[in-house]
Amino acid sequence: MARIERAARVAVRKSSGLKFALSSFPDKVTIPNLVEVEGVTFGYDRRRPILRDIDMVVPRGRVVAIMGLSGCGKTTLLRLIGGALRPDRGEVRVEGRSVKGLSAEGLYAMRRKMGMLFQFGALFTDLSAFDNVAFQVREHTALRGALLRDLVLMKLDAVGLRGAAHLMPSQLSGGMARRVALARTIALDPMLIMYDEPFAGLDPLSLGVVGKLIRSLNDALGATSIVVTHDVQEALAIVDTVYYMSLGKVEFHGTPEQVRASGHPSLHQFAHGEPDGPVPFHYPAPDYAQDLLGGA
Amino acid sequence: MGRIAELLRALGTRVINHWVWRLGFATRFLLLTLKHSGPSFRRFYLTVREIYFAGVLSLIIILVSGLFVGMVLGLQGYDTLARYGSSEALGVLVSLSLVRELGPVVAALLFASRAGSAITAEIGLMKATEQLDAMEMMAVDPIARVIAPRFWGGVLSMPLLAALFSAMGVFGGYLVGVRLIGVDEGSFWSQMQAAVDFREDIVNGVIKSFVFGVAITWIAVFEGYDAPPTAEGVSRATTRTVVISSLAVLALDFVLTAMMFRGL
């Protein structure tokens, strides 16, 4: 098995796409932080920024969680790191290179070294689980036949779904689909894996499995992971660092222990699921009594 | 006066911001699709798959419709020609009507509602379920991998479907005219052979159906790609594909007919 994996890695590296990708980025030893976000401001509508002056670093080999309420800009931040969006102000650097300054070719070269797990998997519905995982390998490498098959089965085995290789996405449960998508994400051993709400809509069993996989795959592959989530307990159990965001700003960052011990009011409300606090239960509205009586 | 000016201003704003902007965007999208069409031909199996979905799966509706249109032409044509004592020319009437006009146009309208709507819905749903975003994040260009093969699959299917529609129509006209009514079989085929010109009629019909194929598939892929990623957005985009491509086919047919057969 190890021999096949070695051969697979050699073949992947020899393929033109990845060779270009590897040669176009600096040596990983020289830059300790894989991702650096510096003073980033962004809004779909420039008058109403979603992210305001965000600073963040993601050290190599670590699992970092970005947490916060729905709509606070977590997924937008992931898209900025992946180069799908460009910041209005500030800079996002991956391996020391500004994402903003990359050409379309450079951006694709960078993305070949990244993997992203989407909120609901985003599996290609016309392809089987096997073909979903093989998709990226076929697109970017010269691997074919038995070598491709072995590589895909190893990835599916890593998420416990080798036996489901022949199933179509419509035949998979939510948790299984998320795991197949995870196998697809790691198909080319990315240096950076980004997870967008990986726990959303999962039952407790699948939730535990996916959480464990995020940690173990990160360590086994020597990758770096960013997990965007609002699932507090599950995230705190697997990550090294937490960034807590509220209303488009980073309010707090630290280790899971520091998060648990923090007296930060907004973070405390978020971590303990309190309905009212710095983030009010009620959407801003006129005075209640006045509103009721005013219509009479 | 002020109110009229205001209305005109609102109308102009809507036309420019909505229609002109969208037409420009769609044109850029078409150019981008053409630019990224390399993989559709280098990895021709991608296009063959789309020819199967757009073309082969449309065969039933095309063939059955062609047969019935030909049969109706046979009945109506015989009735009219018999009044002037030229019922032997039925073969000419059926074949020229089909090859020049009805074959390309009716096949295109059926293609727009069967395959065009399916292409829009598929691409729209891929967008809504983040499959296109996932592809982008895997450094795979969705225009080259998803859009271009569907575009060329539709463009290549359309002339073939129109030809099959016409062939079935001629067969339908033969069944009704010769087998049912009793028009002389020799006259039916020989007059048809003598009257139908390969360059003037067949090639022009093929050119028409090719142009219709480009228009329908362009509209279908664009509407799918531009659809808001919601159930309502995909549903509206699918409807727009059928409506806009049907109108485009009829308008283009007039322009092409004027150019080809009237020498305008």
Is B13 contained in some domain?
Answer: no
Q: Do A111 and B129 touch (CB under 8 A)?
A: no
Q: So what's the pLDDT on residue A15?
A: 46
Is B29 contained in some domain?
Answer: no
Within 13 Å, how many C-alpha atoms sit on residue A257's CB side?
0
Is B27 contained in some domain?
Answer: no
Structure tokens at B175: 């069944």
How far is A137 from A184, CA to CA, in rounded Å? 9
Q: Do B134 and A122 touch (CB under 8 A)?
A: yes
Q: Do B138 and A135 touch (CB under 8 A)?
A: yes
Task: Kindly state whether A140 is in contact with chain B, defined as any CB-CB distance less than 8 angstroms.
Answer: yes
Q: Structurally, how many domains does chain B consist of? A: 1
Asked whether the predicted pLDDT for residue A27 surpasses 60, the reply is no
Burial class (CB in 10 A: 0-12, 13-18, 19+), A247: middle
A292's enclosing H/E stretch is helix A288-294
Backbone angles phi, psi at B65, to 5 degrees: -65, -45
Q: So what's the pLDDT on residue A34?
A: 94
H helical segments located in chain B: 2-14, 21-35, 38-42, 44-54, 59-83, 90-96, 103-111, 117-128, 131-137, 142, 148-174, 185-195, 204-226, 231-261
Task: Kindly state whether A193 is in contact with chain B, defined as any CB-CB distance less than 8 angstroms.
Answer: no
Domain that residue B49 falls in: 36-261
For B2-23, the pLDDT digits (tens) are 889 999 999 998 888 888 999 9
Is B28 contained in some domain?
Answer: no
In order of A47, A272, B106, the CA distances from B246 in angstroms are 41, 57, 10
Asked whether the predicted pLDDT for residue A10 surpasses 70, the reply is no
Is B30 contained in some domain?
Answer: no
Is B2 contained in some domain?
Answer: no
pLDDT band at A16 (very low <50, low <70, confident <90, very high): very low
Q: Do A123 and B140 touch (CB under 8 A)?
A: no
Question: Which chain B residues are Cβ-neighbours of A112 within 8 angstroms?
Answer: 139
Task: Kindly state whether A135 is in contact with chain B, defined as any CB-CB distance less than 8 angstroms.
Answer: yes
Q: So what's the pLDDT on residue A31?
A: 62
Proportion of chain A above pLDDT 70, given as a percent = 89
Q: So what's the pLDDT on residue A296?
A: 56
Chain A nearest-CA residue for B127: A122
- Count of pairs with CB atoms under 8 A, one residue in A, one in B: 45
Q: Do A120 and B130 touch (CB under 8 A)?
A: yes
ipTM: 0.81
Task: Kindly state whether B130 is in contact with chain A, defined as any CB-CB distance less than 8 angstroms.
Answer: yes
* Residue of A23, A51, A78, A40 lying closest to A193 (CA atoms): A78
Task: For CA atoms B222, B223, B228, B234, give the dihedral sign.
Answer: negative
pLDDT band at B263 (very low <50, low <70, confident <90, very high): low
Q: So what's the pLDDT on residue A98?
A: 93
Q: Is B197 left (phi over 0), alpha (psi -120 to 50) or beta?
A: beta
Question: Which chain A residues are Cβ-neighbours of B130 within 8 angstroms?
Answer: 118-120, 122
Map out the domains of chain A with their CATH numbers: 2-278 (3.40.50.300)
Question: Which chain B residues are Cβ-neighbours of A116 within 8 angstroms?
Answer: 134, 137
Asked whether the predicted pLDDT for residue B140 surpasses 50, the reply is yes
Task: Kindly state whether A105 is in contact with chain B, defined as any CB-CB distance less than 8 angstroms.
Answer: no
Question: Which chain A residues are Cβ-neighbours of B136 within 8 angstroms?
Answer: 84, 111
Pairing of strands A63-68, A241-246: parallel
pLDDT band at A242 (very low <50, low <70, confident <90, very high): very high
Question: Which chain B residues are Cβ-neighbours of A105 within 8 angstroms?
Answer: none
Is B17 contained in some domain?
Answer: no
Is B246 contained in some domain?
Answer: yes
Check if the beta carbon of residue B71 is closer than 8 Å to that of residue B180: no
Chain B nearest-CA residue for A81: B137
Q: So what's the pLDDT on residue A132?
A: 97
Task: Match 């065969």 to its residue by tokens.
Answer: B59
